Amino acid sequence: MDLKHAGWSEVWQNQFLRCTKENCSPGRIICEHRGAYTVITETGDRLAEVSGHFRHFAINRSDFPAVGDWVALEIPDMVSHCLIHEVLPRFSSFVRKSAGAAMQEQVVASNVDTVFIVCGLDHDFNSRRIERYLTLAYESGAEPVILLNKADIAQDLDLARDQTESIAYGVPVLAISAIHATGLDAIWHYLQPATTSVLLGSSGVGKSSLVNALLKTERQKTNAVREYDSHGRHTTTNRQLIVLPNGALIIDTPGMREIQLLADSSSLNKSFDDISELSEDCSFRDCTHLVEPGCAVLGALASGALDQKRYESYLKLLKEVRHHQIEQDIHLQKKEKNRWKAIHKSLKHHPKYDH
Ligand SMILES: Nc1nc2c(ncn2[C@@H]2O[C@H](COP(=O)(O)OP(=O)(O)OP(=O)(O)O)[C@@H](O)[C@H]2O)c(=O)[nH]1
Ligand SMILES: [Mg+2]
Ligand SMILES: [Zn+2]
């Protein structure tokens, strides 16, 4: 396959030329299995694993390949697994905290141009969740677009659209119906050949249905949601990069149960543009907007200009951002301590320092 169809460009070519390992070819991760990956290469789709050297030097989970990554890999012959030696630097990545583990970041999708935040206009609709996804989308470096799916069964489509637009400044909000294939033209605008996008959202919002509508085939498995609360059944179980007929690439993902914020305050300020603008008028530069006199945010809250629920949501996410910052600092301190330990140990074995 010509890798241009998978998004390969001169920029990637230059990155690839920097790889030190010899006899490597470029490839793009299109699917992640337990410990193995499907990779698009010039000679077709191949199964690959990371090399022993790679595994040895990987520190975080996020160092491992993720769907969307470009990698340098060794293709031994036509039957054996390929060996991944390097992941080319990502220009954008959507990262979440993996369940359970402390400070383990998991890359959900990388090198994406557009993040589609998909909501279902059934019982799934939730402004607070959109704010959370938006913050993560800003953090990823990709452009967010909000898709309000299931417009065909929406009780009040205009209200949902207004509510969404009021919390997502300047972010495109598109109402669609995946199963009736309506509103898709507006989506195609973002799906240019060789660009990559990712579908994110809770289980059951219709991400796989949308992929099928774009492909005009039932390629992805879909499943009915629970009637009383519209919760999905976690039908899609792994992330997959799919090539659309026009040459655009789209990543279908499993619905996420909970997403914790791994973001810094600048991404939060982007998704809460209104609050960040207000805070410029606070009397204190480091105002927490909780109790301070002369706080413009509290002022707007009192006058009704700022919605109480949005304010609460902001505080909640801010707390998570701070928590993440502290965890990261501890992580860095630990890493630094280990580095010095290793240096001391090697110095001990150095003849000059032998006592
Ligand atoms: N009424 C209506 N139902 C839809 C629409 N899009 C999807 N659905 C239904 O919603 C259910 C869930 O759709 P999926 O595509 O499986 O959802 P998903 O987001 O991929 O879910 P996971 O793979 O579990 O994360 C299915 O029964 C779909 O038929 C739509 O536009 N309108
Ligand atoms: Mg799915
Ligand atoms: Zn304030």
Burial of 170 (0-12, 13-18, 19+ CB in 10 A): exposed
- 171-193 average pLDDT score: 96
If one residue of 119, 209, 227 were mutated to test the ligand 1 pocket, choosing by the most ligand atoms within 8 A of its CB, it would be 209
pLDDT at 242: 94
Of 59, 87, 115, the last residue of a domain is 87
pLDDT at 351: 59
Q: Measure 348 CA to ligand 2 centroid, in angstroms.
A: 55
- 170-188 average pLDDT score: 96
The atom of ligand 1 lying closest to the CA of 202 is 25
Query: 237 and 301: one domain?
Result: no
Tell the residue nearest (CA) to atom 29 of ligand 1. 224
Q: Measure 293 CA to ligand 1 centroid, in angstroms.
A: 48
Sign, Cα dihedral of 26, 32, 33, 35? positive
| Domain containing residue 295: CATH number | 1.10.40.50
DSSP β-bridge partners for residue 173? 146
DSSP β-bridge partners for residue 23? none
Question: What is the overall mean pLDDT for the chain?
Answer: 88
Q: Is 203 in the pocket of ligand 1 (CB under 6 A)?
A: yes
The atom of ligand 1 lying closest to the CA of 176 is 31
| The token pair that represents 167 in the structure block | 């919390």
Percent of the chain with pLDDT over 90: 57
Output phi, psi for 242, to 5 deg. -120, 135
Query: 34 and 172: one domain?
Result: no
- Considering its fold, how many domains does the chain have in total? 3
Tell the residue nearest (CA) to atom 7 of ligand 1. 206
Is the pLDDT at 99 greater than 70? The verdict is: no
Q: From 83, 1, 22, 6, select the one nearest 47 (Cα to Cα).
A: 83
| The token pair that represents 332 in the structure block | 């860095």
Model pLDDT for residues 1-33, shown as the tens digit of each residue:
789 999 999 999 999 999 888 889 999 999 998
User: What is the rounded distance in angstroms from the CA atom of residue 110 to the CA atom of residue 66?
Assistant: 7
Residue 305 lies in a domain: yes
| The token pair that represents 213 in the structure block | 């509508």
Is the pLDDT at 354 greater than 60? The verdict is: no
Q: Measure 283 CA to ligand 3 centroid, in angstroms.
A: 7
Instruction: Give the list of residues 6+ apart from residue 96 with CB closer than 8 angstroms, or none.
Output: 105, 106, 108, 136, 256, 259, 260, 262
Domain span at residue 321 reads 265-327
**Which carries the bigger pLDDT value, residue 8 or residue 98?**
8
Is 271 strand, coil or helix?
helix
Is the pLDDT at 100 greater than 70? The verdict is: no
151-165, 213-227, 280-294, 323-337: least confident range: 323-337
Q: Measure 219 CA to ligand 2 centroid, in angstroms.
A: 11
- 119-131 average pLDDT score: 87
Residue 171 lies in a domain: yes
Of 36, 68, 87, the last residue of a domain is 87
pLDDT band for position 176 (cuts 50, 70, 90): very high
Query: 237 and 152: one domain?
Result: yes
pLDDT at 51: 93
pLDDT at 78: 73
| Domain containing residue 55: CATH number | 2.40.50.140
Query: 235 and 214: one domain?
Result: yes
User: What is the rounded distance in angstroms from the CA atom of residue 92 to the CA atom of residue 183?
Assistant: 27
Residue 219 lies in a domain: yes
Please name which ligand lies nearest the alpha carbon of 257: 1
Of 217, 252, 287, the last residue of a domain is 252
| The token pair that represents 308 in the structure block | 């109480």
Query: 142 and 291: one domain?
Result: no
Sign, Cα dihedral of 58, 61, 62, 67? positive
pLDDT band for position 204 (cuts 50, 70, 90): very high
Q: Measure 290 CA to ligand 3 centroid, in angstroms.
A: 7
Instruction: Give the list of residues 6+ apart from residue 27 with CB closer than 8 angstroms, or none.
Output: 3, 39, 40, 41, 46, 48, 70, 71, 73, 82
Model pLDDT for residues 76-92, shown as the tens digit of each residue:
877 788 999 999 999 99
pLDDT at 84: 96
Q: Is 23 in the pocket of ligand 1 (CB under 6 A)?
A: no
Residue 36: other Cβ atoms inside 10 A = 15
In angstroms, the first-to-last Cα distance of the chain is: 61
pLDDT at 236: 85
Residue 19 lies in a domain: yes
Query: 150 and 27: one domain?
Result: no
pLDDT at 30: 96
Model pLDDT for residues 237-261, shown as the tens digit of each residue:
889 999 999 999 999 999 887 677 6
Query: 79 and 111: one domain?
Result: no
Instruction: Give the list of residues 6+ apart from residue 259 with CB closer than 8 angstroms, or none.
Output: 96, 97, 132, 133, 136
DSSP β-bridge partners for residue 105? 97
Burial of 112 (0-12, 13-18, 19+ CB in 10 A): buried
> How distant is the alpha carbon of residue 110 from its chain centre?
7
